[in-house]
Amino acid sequence: MRNKKAFLAIDIFYLCLLAAGPIFAIMLKVLFTPQSDDINISGALVFFTLRLPFFDLPISETQVNSWVVIWSVLWLCKYITHGISARGEMKRQIIAEWVVEKTKNLVKGNMGEYFAPFAPFVAAIMGLSAFSSLMTLIGLYPPTSDINTTAGWAILVFFLITYYKFKCGPVHYLKSFGDPVPFLAPLNIISEFATPVSMAFRHYGNVLSGSVISVLVAVALKGLSNLIFGKLPGILGSFPFLQIGIPAVLSVYFDIFSGLLQAFIFAMLTMLYVAGGFPAEDYAAKKAKRAAKKAKSKQNS
């Protein structure tokens, strides 16, 4: 009984820490958002600006909510993995094992056995992206609606792509721009830098457009409701009847389905671009050649 109470207390502690981040972000939004009846689609709210010697650093909803997502995901993982055992009797452990297994299979199926250690990275991308987009469900600004967030992720992926393309050396990397024919090198160079740009704008554009459309439809329904039912007596005339239900249906698509879909697409593009840029056959041949050369040098010595 004592162990059960201690276990439950730790669970409650983890859940409280998990909820502390979103509650903190909601409080900041309430305190710093100016009151207005107009439509506000101006982007992330700037809380304050740090005056630095060479540039000013604005601290906005994007940075705060990104850290809130990281904080919440951390304590969610702590909660799910609390009390795991070899038997796996708890439902949360079954869910955690299912997520790990599916992520590993997804990485192996799209990237191959060589990239099996990429599973935690891919899971982190999907988790951060999905939870960032889902923040709209609690009225918070989703970090994925800021181009700086998705651009940062895309640049990181670009560095990974370039790193694995360099596995066979800089000469091989430069020669790859001439495939399949040398005169396509300018187009291949443009395509190399267009990859992170397209990844960033695709994710950012889809999430932002969903948020904007949801706000515009909700406001339009409020105006239409006032036009149709405005002549009703008392509070009935000002009650937005048409805003009941319809925005929720749109939210299911734009906030949930579209947000989760974009997280999956971004992770899939990451896997395909990194694995596609890695010259696996040439790298294996290079390793075999090095091994043969090393074995031959040992024999001669």
Where do the domains of the chain lie? 2-28+56-296
Q: Residue 200 and residue 146: Cα distance in Å, rounded? A: 10
Going from the C-alpha of 41 to that of each of 12, 212, 213, the distances in angstroms are: 37, 7, 10
The pLDDT of residue 166 is 86
Non-local (6+) Cβ contacts of 119 within 8 A are 100, 103, 104, 106, 107
The pLDDT of residue 168 is 81
The pLDDT of residue 237 is 63
The pLDDT of residue 206 is 84
The pLDDT of residue 39 is 56
The pLDDT of residue 104 is 93
Lookup: tokens for 269 = 């593009």
Tens-level pLDDT at each residue, the chain (301 residues):
558 888 899 999 999 999 999 999 989 888 887 766 555 666 778 888 888 888 888 888 899 999 999 999 999 999 998 888 877 678 888 888 898 999 999 999 998 888 988 999 999 999 999 999 888 888 888 899 889 999 999 999 999 999 988 888 888 888 888 777 777 788 888 888 898 899 998 888 888 887 777 777 777 777 777 777 777 776 666 666 666 766 667 777 777 888 888 899 999 999 999 988 888 787 777 888 887 888 777 777 6
The pLDDT of residue 238 is 67
Task: Identify the three-state secondary structure at position 272.
Answer: helix
The pLDDT of residue 44 is 79
DSSP letter, residue 42: S
The distance of Cα 282 from the centroid of its chain, to the nearest Å, equals: 32
Could you tell me the pTM of the whole model? 0.83
Return the number of other C-beta atoms located less than 10 Å from residue 170's C-beta: 9
- Torsion sign across C-alpha atoms 134, 135, 141, 142: negative
The pLDDT of residue 241 is 64
Q: Residue 104 and residue 245: Cα distance in Å, rounded? A: 39
Strand partners of residue 50 = 57
The pLDDT of residue 40 is 60
